[in-house]
Amino acid sequence: MEILYQRLKSLTRFPAQELIPALDLFRLIRIPSRTVLLEAGEISDTVWFIDTGILRAFYSIEEEKRSMSFCKNEKVFREVTSWIVPEGGLLTDISSFLYQKPAHYFIEALEPCRLYALSYNNYQQISLQFPSIAKAMFEHTLTMADQRVQMCNLRSPKERLSMFLRLYPGLTARLSVNTQASYLNIDPTTLSRLRGKSK
Nearest to 177 by CA among 167, 165, 166, 187: 187
Please report the pLDDT score of residue 65 as a whole number: 67
**Mean pLDDT estimate for the chain:** 89
**11 φ, ψ (degrees, to nearest 5):** -75, -40
Instruction: Say yes or no to pLDDT of 28 above 60.
Output: yes
What's this model's pTM, rounded to 2 decimal places?
0.87
* Confidence category of residue 138, pLDDT binned at 50, 70, 90: confident
Count of domains in the chain? 1
Dist CA 137 CA 88 (whole Å)? 12
Instruction: Say yes or no to pLDDT of 7 above 90.
Output: no
CATH of the domain at 50: 2.60.120.10
184 belongs to a structural domain? no
198 belongs to a structural domain? no
Instruction: Say yes or no to pLDDT of 98 above 80.
Output: yes
Dist CA 27 CA 39 (whole Å)? 20
Q: Over the Cα atoms of the chain, what is R_g?
A: 18
Please report the pLDDT score of residue 17 as a whole number: 79
Contacts of 85 (CB under 8 A, 6+ apart): 50, 54, 55, 56, 57, 91, 144
Query: Packing angle between helix 131-152 and helix 157-167, nearest 10 degrees?
Result: 150
Query: Mean per-residue pLDDT for 125-136?
Result: 88
Query: Mean per-residue pLDDT for 8-31?
Result: 86
166 belongs to a structural domain? no
Structural domain harbouring 40? 2-153
99 belongs to a structural domain? yes
